[in-house]
């Protein structure tokens, strides 16, 4: 048996989201011995800064994303889950949240990390589709599939499942024109460089 997961839309303060989809929380970093146990916010901020500086050198991903959002806003909503992490171990949650009530956690584990960081930098709210596992938004009207297609600007692969909420395989990358293979090679190079030259 499972509970039906209701889905809602909110424009959130980016600082209210536990952002596990930002570079410093990529699995490649989390898997490093001691990274999560000893890592401070300062360490995570440095990793983010290095990642975006280096990824910009080969793809202009970050600078173009910021420019696009500053001009047009956030086109595609981020995906947020309430309650405990669904795809990552509990130890992935930053230390400053671990003694707080997880019922009020709103976690982005995929689909939105860079947009949340951009919103923080630009001082704007984040459009969010929320998979509500704990009933945090139960007094509001839940979304149906037609709402999701409208919110996601015509992305056809949107799925709404009773046991898991919204699933979107991937949004189009609209701010840069970079082949997926080249982008992933660039991403791997940047992560390896940070691991080998800054975190060891």
Examine residue 32 and state whether it is found in any structural domain, yes or no: yes
- Strands 126-132 and 6-12 come out as antiparallel
Q: Note the pLDDT of residue 1.
A: 37
Write out the residue range of the structural domain in which residue 142 sits.
Answer: 6-198
User: For residues 177 and 103, which has the higher predicted lDDT (pLDDT)?
Assistant: 103
Highest mean pLDDT among 74-78, 146-150, 173-177: 74-78
Q: Please state which of the ranges 20-24, 64-68, 136-140, 173-177 shows the lowest mean pLDDT.
A: 173-177
List of residues 6+ apart from 198 with CB closer than 8 A: 46, 47, 50
Higher-pLDDT residue of 158 and 194 is 194
The answer to whether position 1 is within a domain reads no
Query: Which pLDDT score, from 0 to 100, does residue 12 have?
Result: 97
The residues with which 12 forms a beta bridge, in sequence order, are: 126
- What is the model's pLDDT at position 123? 97
Tokens read off for 93: 């949650």
Domain count, the chain: 1
In a domain, 35, yes or no: yes
Q: Give which of 168, 66, 166, 170 is closest to 119, Cα–Cα.
A: 66
Determine the Cα–Cα distance for residues 176 and 199; give it in Å rounded to an integer. 29
Is residue 127 domain-resident?
Answer: yes
Q: Which residues touch 29 (CB under 8 Å, ≥6 apart)?
A: 23, 35, 47, 191, 194, 195, 199
In a domain, 97, yes or no: yes
Average pLDDT over residues 7-12: 96
The arithmetic mean of pLDDT across residues 125-134, rounded, is 96
12-62 per-position pLDDT tens digit: 999 999 999 999 999 999 999 989 888 788 889 999 999 999 999 988 888
- Residues 114-140 have a mean pLDDT of 95
Is 49 part of a structural domain of the chain?
Answer: yes
Determine the pLDDT at residue 163.
83
């Amino acid at each position: 048996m499972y509970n039906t997961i209701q889905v809602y839309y909110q424009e959130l303060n980016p600082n209210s989201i536990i952002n596990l989809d930002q570079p410093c929380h990529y699995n490649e970093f989390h898997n490093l011995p001691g990274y999560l146990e000893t890592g401070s916010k300062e360490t995570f901020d440095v990793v983010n800064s290095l990642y975006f500086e280096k990824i910009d050198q080969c793809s202009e991903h970050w600078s173009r994303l910021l420019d696009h959002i500053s001009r047009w806003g956030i086109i595609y909503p981020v995906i947020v889950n309430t309650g405990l992490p669904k795809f990552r171990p509990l130890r992935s949650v930053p230390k400053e949240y671990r003694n707080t009530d997880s019922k009020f956690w709103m976690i982005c584990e995929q689909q939105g990390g860079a947009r949340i960081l951009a919103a923080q930098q630009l001082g704007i709210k984040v459009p969010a589709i929320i998979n509500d596992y704990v009933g945090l938004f139960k007094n509001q009207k839940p979304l149906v599939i037609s709402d999701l297609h409208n919110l996601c600007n015509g992305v056809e692969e949107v799925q709404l499942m009773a046991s898991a909420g919204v699933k979107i395989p991937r949004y189009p990358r609209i701010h840069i024109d970079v082949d997926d293979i080249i982008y992933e090679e660039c991403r791997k190079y940047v992560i390896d460089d940070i691991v080998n030259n800054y975190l060891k």
